[in-house]
Structure 1
């Protein structure tokens, strides 16, 4: 039996030279198995029936409807788009604008002056809800400067 003595102090238990190489054999084995699985499964995923498909000529999708803007001035005047509308006829005017579409699917954008009375704003909101317009977005000024 032989022992390796290190220098003059004798050998220690950590004097054995370390092997720092990675054993890649298990990695190669796994990769080869995966390669075989994919080579067998790939032809099964393709369709082998030949079909002469006709060209698809679909009509272009319609543009989304133009947004509806309601503006409230600080004196209580209500505008739909650029038209001044009395609050009591606002529902009829909105229904005329959307045509046959469902009011639930329409989004109404509300712009309001900074000094508008809360009561005027709530009157517009209540009128919208009474006429079936539940999707309402509030428009504000973007003050972020980049």
Structure 2
């Protein structure tokens, strides 16, 4: 069995190299993989829990949204009027003002120190009334 080694050819002449060096390609691909693995969880993270401020720009609105607020004592206000009766009646009235294809948008403002469960109960009532276009409002400012 004959083996053709490059050192057995004529002196001073080298045979052209026929294989491709893939080591740099593998190195670059591994670095890119690591970069994507590190940055992917940061891209899918939600809104931080303790974030009262935001740099988000206001959304364009087709119709005037309904402003709803919950103060530190847990009182609920709809367009600066305190809800004194049942919340269900007021939400049914608001839901009736929109179309079934396009229910009114609710801008929900809740006090930062308020119990999370209280806000979720109000959001559950909104959902039960068919008002599922709810936006949580924050203050505009630096996040530093």
State the TM-score, normalizing by the size of structure 1.
Answer: 0.48
Higher relative contact order (CA 8 A, sep 6+): 2
Which structure has the bigger radius of gyration? Answer: 1
